[in-house]
Chains A and B, each alone.
Chain A
């Protein structure tokens, strides 16, 4: 304000200076004066939307020419933007490399003007960097500033006409195996397969059309179902058996009870006790006779086995048949399988670690023996040992020896008889 009287105590009018610049002329929407007033009332920078924004310019004037920008315009924008970007870049480069360069400079100066008096050239070499190496620091997400003034929305926002209906949504439900979904990289099911599936999706008759996976899945399902059925049947049978078993047990118990009952009845029938015991004895004798008859009928080998069993021993068939022989070579003290395993043949593939035995047959005998050149004393010892250990006849089994003296045994027997004790023996009848 050039003219301002001293008497005026009021401040300057707020918008007097920039009225001309802030007012913009709207082509439509009331008179110009209205526009000016509205513009002044509006908050600063608030965007305006008018009906003219919706009307395409070419509908007003089809012959509207919009020339490309002139070279002068381009030049002007170029210089302006270039200057701005250069300043930005310069700022960035000082941030990154500025202080580093300075320190090296000062160092070189200090060294050059050092007390030694000798000027030493210092070469500053930049650290080599891979030009393609990505930046090492972490980038952070940039979020749009929220204080930005919102632009007015110039389209209908309550447009509900294109909402998909239920049927349309259902149409999009496609089984995943034959998905029609876009497949940008061309992966998964090959084109021709998809085409054949798509040509008649309802036709499942031909197995040749089916994928390997599909066949496998079906086979697995079938196998699973069969296995389940089999288990079910098995369980039923088992249940039946258990039922029968329990029935049988019950029946036996009932029989026993009945027999006991009968027994008691019988005893009551006899006149006296002696009569009854005699009858019992007779029965018992008959039973033992039957047993003996049955034993006589079986073979000698079986008899022998039974005998052995009664004595608490278990013997092999060879011994029973008297076919068992003492080992021919007295000095073989090892299990020959240990050595023969490796040498057997190529056929034992997986278990075979070595292709040939560690020792030859000739060497086996000498593993645990001193060398042949040993003195006579050792030979003698060896022959003694081998003689002692060697067996000439078949094995003879005796009764189990308690390790007591015969006198002691006799004493024990008498004692036991005296007190009515019995040595427990295997069941004979």
Chain B
């Protein structure tokens, strides 16, 4: 060192001092790793340590008395290489991962069956939402421009709300206000007072039909999006448009609000999912895994994750990062319109041809598939399931269909695993497709 502890220059030449100083100036920072990286490097074991570990682990099997004349050296050799020489946390081969997945045992769920059919609307039923507070009623919005409120227990019609001029595409009931919001193709978002049963506010501003609306869980704002491919944030009280979030290139199909960042998640016809940052005013992450129109996005009620549904493709994502969680077994499902998840880790996906598919949310295993019961006089082309939701308890599934009926499905409570084992768990490598 050119500088001693007292800070005086001792016996080094001026050149040396210059070189040292310059090195300090420019390259000293590269001499040390950042703390976090250094920590992970320190935790990483050396090859020798790993070998010792491997020997420790496989000792009991070696000491065990074996009558085999030839030891399975190939297997043990590959194991040795994998465990000792390859860095940890890295998936070695596709086949091995496949083996691992095969060994999973998906959770068993009781099969679902139809319990009730409700008729009353004269157009397609485009959206359904359940009273989030008391779980006593649910609202359906239809192409016949009305919103109807039904009793969840009896299935009786409670109220018909008229006010929109075109089909109602989405409804959202607030947990913190006595309000319901409805988005319609007539470019309007209406706020309904559920104590007086009238529309009290109109949110004007969308240039085309509004496809989706959601209420922010903690702030007094709503987020809407539609055919004009932008998300709009509205102040509920003053009806003013706070913010416009452009970014999508096609109509936005679904928007959901979360209490923490990313506070808005949206999916669109341009096959992207965007996680939005309100403060920055732009998308913090764009997920491009899907290749077709993403028609549905649904949040898990008990886990911080969400699932998106595209043609032939269902995927779930971890929040807040937006990492891929599960790739569902949905290769042969066709066009999917709707999905919903309950607390019991059941994901329901409703198809455009009237098939109902039930998945285990964690493994992506399809455990039941049935086609909807046709209403008398309806055509095959009218069998699509357009919207769905579980009630707040997660025991009842409500679907709105293209044959203008609402159907309520329940789990068979008496079913046992032996009696109804469900579809077999046959994970394919295709399910790891890109």
- A residues touching B (Cβ–Cβ < 8 Å)? 1, 3-5, 7-8, 10, 12-13, 16, 19-20, 23, 25, 27-28, 31-32, 36, 53-60, 62, 64-69, 73-74, 77-78, 80-82, 84-85, 88-89, 92, 131-132, 134-135, 139, 141-145, 148, 151-157, 159, 180-186, 191-192, 194-195, 198
Contact = CB atoms under 8 A, between A and B. Distances in A.
Contacts of A57: 318, 323-326
B21 A184 contact: no
B282 A191 contact: no
B112 interface: no
A56 B327 contact: yes
A181 B303 contact: no
B153 interface: no
A142 B205 CA distance: 11
11 contacts: A28-B90, A31-B87, A58-B364, A78-B218, A142-B244, A151-B287, A153-B288, A155-B271, A155-B289, A180-B380, A185-B124
Contacts of B377: 191-192, 195
Contacts of B364: 56, 58
Nearest to B433: A156
A153 B411 CA distance: 39
B209 interface: no
A23 B36 CA distance: 10
A82 B382 CA distance: 45
B91 A3 contact: no
B80 interface: no
Contact of B207 (A23, A55, A64, A139): A139
Given A57-B324, A59-B100, A159-B291, A180 B235 contact: no
Given A7-B21, A19-B29, A54-B324, A77 B259 contact: yes
Contacts of B392: none
Contacts of B285: 151
A144 B402 contact: no
Give 5 nearest A-B pairs by CB, closest first: A151-B286, A20-B34, A16-B29, A134-B204, A155-B291
A53 B382 contact: no
A58 B288 contact: no
Nearest to B286: A151
Given A58-B364, A65-B303, 20 more contacts: A3-B24, A8-B25, A53-B323, A55-B432, A59-B432, A60-B91, A66-B303, A66-B319, A77-B218, A77-B263, A80-B279, A85-B278, A142-B230, A144-B249, A151-B287, A155-B290, A180-B381, A182-B381, A184-B124, A191-B378
B302 A81 contact: no
Nearest to A140: B207
Nearest to A71: B259
B22 A8 contact: yes
B151 interface: no
A64 B319 CA distance: 13
Interface in B213-236: 218-219, 221, 228-230, 233, 235
Contacts of A20: 34-35
A49 to B, nearest CB: 9
B381 A151 contact: no
Contacts of B229: 144
Contacts of B244: 142
Contacts of A185: 122-124, 143-144, 167
Contacts of B143: 184-185
Contact of B259 (A56, A78, A186): A78
B40 interface: yes
B366 interface: no
B21 A5 contact: yes
B433 A58 contact: no
Contact of B279 (A8, A84, A132): A84
